A and B are shown apart, each in its own frame.
Chain A
Amino acid sequence: MSQHNRLAQGGRIDRNQPLSFTWNGKQYQGYQGDTLASAMLANGIKVVGRSFKYSRARGIFGHGAEEANALMQLGVGKETIPNPRATQIELFDGLTASATNGWPNADFDLMEWVGKIGGKMMPPGFYYKTFMWPEKMWMTYEKFIRKAAGYGKASLEADPDTYDKMNRHCDVMIVGAGPAGLAAALEAGRTGKRVILADEQNEFGGSLLASGQTINDQPAVEWAEAAAAELAAMENVICLPRTTVFGYYDHNFLGALERRTDHQGMTAQSGTRQRIHRIRAHQVVLATGAIERPLVFANNDLPGVMLSGSVATYVNRYGVVPGNRCVVMTTNDSGYQTALDIVAAGRTVVAIVDVRHNPEGRLVDAAREAGITVKPGHAIIEAKGNKQVTDAMVAPIDIEGDKVTGQPMSMSCDLIAVAGGWSPVVHLSCHTGSRPQWNDEVAAFVPGPTLQQQHLAGAIDGEYSTAGALTAGAQMGAKAAASEVHNQYDCGDESICPAQAMYLVPHTKPVSRAPKQFVDFQNDVTAAGIELANREGFESIEHVKRYTAMGFGTDQGKTGNINGMAITAKNLGKTIAETGTTIFRPAYTPVTFGAIGGRDIGELLDPARHTAMHSWHLDNGALFENVGQWKRPWYYPKAGESMQQTLNRECMAVRRSVGMVDASTLGKIDIQGKDAREFLNRVYTNAFSKLAPGKCRYGLMLKEDGMVFDDGVTACLGDNHFLMTTTTGGAAGVMSWLEMWLQTEWPELEVYLTSVTDHWATCSFSGPNARKVLEKLCDDVDLSAEAFKFMDWREGTVAGIKARIFRISFTGELAYEVNVPANQGLHMWQQIMAAGEEFDITPYGTETMHVLRAEKGYIIVGQDTDGSLTPQDCGMHWVVGKNKEFSFLGKRSFTRPDTSRDDRKHLVGLKPTDPTVVIPEGSQIVADPTQPIPMDMLGHVTSSYWSECLGHGIALGTVKAGHHKTGDTVYFPLADGRVLAAEICSPVFYDPKGERHHD
């Protein structure tokens, strides 16, 4: 039967636009304007999923963000989306959805029997308590537990959609476009201030869209339509329907997710599927409304038990009555309105079961006049049925609502509508750390004090009447816009009879023996579970939450939390105000990772920096390594070469003839000013007082704790002018570090820093034939060893370009670094390559650079050091100035007891006992490999390579007191069971006297 729950007329659906959809493999029909949930209910679909822990059948229970059961697996394949709520999915033609769980299917689930038989034996903490032993087996258990429980599955394929983000600024941000939000927007909008109005639903109006009330004698729905149209026409107002404000952050910053195309299909036909608005607002009006609370009674999770307000919404907004015979249970007047709406739709209300003993007034009278049976002082203590409600067990209760006072009677029904009172949607107000406060008058938590520029309007503040919400909205909208209230609202008689606060409905049996009374549907938390947790000593509400999992998951306790807190309070003999509440964190409802990522994915995730010679490296087959954001050539394999063969060839070219590396990525800082020299003295370990123009010096930079933090060569360009180089990865950090000292401690120094990293391209070529190459290109500089010494620099013309030539070496060979403006870098590189052709000049990458420098024992800061090594630990006493006047950064720490210990970890060379072995980097170093685990660890290997020119493996590593252990053998127990050995030696493996780079 097709749509047998659909009414012939009424609602905001278009019966002329039928849409077909597939649920669990079967085709159904709904209408334009439906949500997936309303269409499913129209078709009489009862079971929509299985519960998390007990695999109980669950049905649609709410109509919006509060829905805890109807989580869908939407779509298939790469488009699939796990766990959206059916109540928030707008129906489109061809929609496909299935249950997220249940095996073999949601309707017939074998796990249900596990839940039924084992349910009593699955208290809170069941998994922790049961699967603890043996510890090793947890990984095995977990696989099965995850399969049996849990919800939808994410696609493993790439998301076909695009997403983006937009920054917004406004005077007044209004969250929620129900009566309060619309009234606020009208007031703020007419002032001309910049206003943003966001609502999670497809159209503005909120509760008004399902209301039969009038506003100033106009039907509420028409008023909402007119208000939305008026706002849409205001140029200063941005209207964002289908937009959920999911987070409210410090200083009035809000995150909002706009679903731009989700209502049209699984993927966007054009443009972006979803957009995150990052909104900075001067004033915020929260008009987020309230969520209806269920009541906690036995088997209250059976399909067919629904929130009363949701039933009314389905009837009035979607033209769907989710049952034929309804019993309403209520603690307040709102259940009566639902009953009247059901009767008006032509279906039967068996009875209104009111827990209040003396309900009276406008709506109670109306119900009686409509011929509805009212049962005051009664409650539904238990629902009966298998996979759907068939009966309600109704019993008289005492005036406090604590005890059943008479025989239960059975009422046959297929729908139970529950009205347990309203919980203001305080979530956003909590996000900045404000704790909700209990308000006895409305028996609910309302937002507490806040430092944000925040205003509350309507049901969020406990104002549940429509006229009250409109009036509060108008007031707050005007206040946020610093204006006077303009509009007045009258909605006729909205008088109500006071509500009774009730949470757990008594049963004839004690909580521990009654059928399950659910508090949190999504996490299968029951009243008995909370009682047990309290009995086991979990008294803080934060502990109860974590022990029972109440309020977890995508639901975040929207319907269950208050009931759980009330039950805890009662168990502990406290008031709810004393028990308090947990607070809510972002996100209000789930935000897709696609939207969070936005455009910042793939190539746009992080900028890639290319040197001026990048195209040449690409053309010549370089493989690249990421160094910070830089793409540096790693090595240049020739056809058929293995990586090691390439490295051997590149290394030998440098040692025997000449090779060239692109060193443009090294950080370069131009330092000028009359105090530049003094500044360098303070930030480097060694002295720069006497460094003459034309000279370079290698320096170490320390943090104040005395540990090495960066290194590099600084050249004196003039008396008041220096060029500092830093490590590639450390450039930005060094720049900030230097600026900090100049700005905060030494403002009296006249020094100016400019980052020139990108301004210069650097061709660094080295090897015995390096001079011969340069001689071919440069004739205005005396390149002789006597005139242009190691650690000198000269300005000259190279290949027709004015260049700075530095005679510095990171390979241990004769080497030059030619610096030219970046625009001429590629030309210079090509000219040097051409000039070097007769010497078989070989381009090499970072890997060969690492091997060559390791053969010389040169450290790489950040690889061989880790912020815990002093210059002395690195064996670099020679770079520490002894007689510097100023106590340079870090110096005082050298004499701290811990820093001056003799048995600190020292950087040493390690020569493998087996010359063919290359010790894995990161290997732990021990003195005795036969020691039982855990062994005494001496240190670890920081760098390790095959040295082709030496014919054996080499390594650097840190070893406790290593400088005193030269000649000792140490061991490296590996994960695969092998134990390698090496001898501690000097870190300088190649040309220990340092003759070659002086040639």
Chain B
Amino acid sequence: MLHIYCPYCEEMREEEEFSYSGEAHIARPLDPESLTDAEWGDYVFFRTNPRGLHHEMWNHAVGCRRYFNVTRNTHTYEIYETYKMGEQPTVTGGKS
């Protein structure tokens, strides 16, 4: 069971309090109507599925109910950092 630091509560809490919300940093296109079907399809359906470092969104569902970002290793389950919505990761790429 993961031990996750909520950047809003500023505490380590048990995984049971959180729910997973998919890949982070997927911006909704500002003007969907101007996109090709392929571009829109890419936004709606396609996500990266890396073995290793991954930026993902979690929700502190039975805590503060805030969404935030986690940089996690999908292979080892190591969590490198958690950061607030709107912030950028400091740990990126290469590491697995």
Residues of A within 8 A of B (CB): 249-253, 280, 432-433, 451, 704-705, 736, 739-740, 743-745, 747, 887, 891-893, 895-897
Contact = CB atoms under 8 A, between A and B. Distances in A.
Interface centre among A251, A252, A704, A747 (most CB of B within 10 A): A251
A246 to B, nearest CB: 14
B40 A744 contact: no
B10 to A, nearest CB: 17
10 contacts: A249-B1, A451-B76, A736-B19, A736-B59, A739-B67, A743-B67, A744-B57, A892-B35, A895-B37, A897-B37
A134 B85 CA distance: 60
Given A251-B3, A743-B85, A892 B32 contact: yes
A893 B3 contact: no
Contact of A893 (B14, B44, B67, B76): B44
Contact of A253 (B1, B27, B40): B1
Contact of A740 (B31, B43, B59, B78): B59
Nearest to A753: B65
B95 interface: no
B46 interface: no
Interface string B31-49: 1110101001101110000
Contacts of B66: 743
Contact of A280 (B3, B19, B61, B67): B3
Contact of B40 (A252, A433, A740, A893): A893
Contacts of A743: 66-67, 85
B28 interface: yes
A892 B35 CA distance: 9
Contact of B67 (A250, A740, A892): A740
Most A C-beta atoms less than 10 A away, residue of B32, B45, B61, B86: B32
Contact of A250 (B2, B27, B40): B2
A736 B21 CA distance: 10
B44 A704 contact: yes
Contacts of B19: 736
A895 B59 CA distance: 32
Nearest to A732: B61
Contacts of A433: 75-77
A549 B52 CA distance: 32
Contacts of B35: 892
Given A249-B1, A253-B1, A745-B28, A736 B40 contact: no
A280 B78 CA distance: 16
A432 B61 CA distance: 25
Contacts of A704: 28, 43-44
B33 A892 contact: yes
B85 A747 contact: yes
A740 B45 contact: no
Nearest to B78: A451
Contact of A887 (B1, B31, B65, B79): B31
B1 A251 contact: yes
A895 B35 CA distance: 11
A253 B77 CA distance: 13
Interface in B53-76: 57, 59, 61, 65-67, 75-76
Contacts of B79: 251
Given A892-B32, A893-B44, A896-B37, A744 B1 contact: no
A744 B44 contact: no
A747 B87 CA distance: 13
Contacts of B14: 280
Contacts of B61: 736
B31 to A, nearest CB: 7
A893 B43 CA distance: 11
B28 to A, nearest CB: 5
A891 B66 CA distance: 27
Contacts of A252: 3
Question: For A253, A736, A892, A895, which residue has the most chain B Cβ atoms within 10 angstroms?
Answer: A892
B2 A251 contact: yes
Nearest to B27: A745
A280 B79 CA distance: 16
B52 to A, nearest CB: 13
Nearest to B77: A250
A887 to B, nearest CB: 4
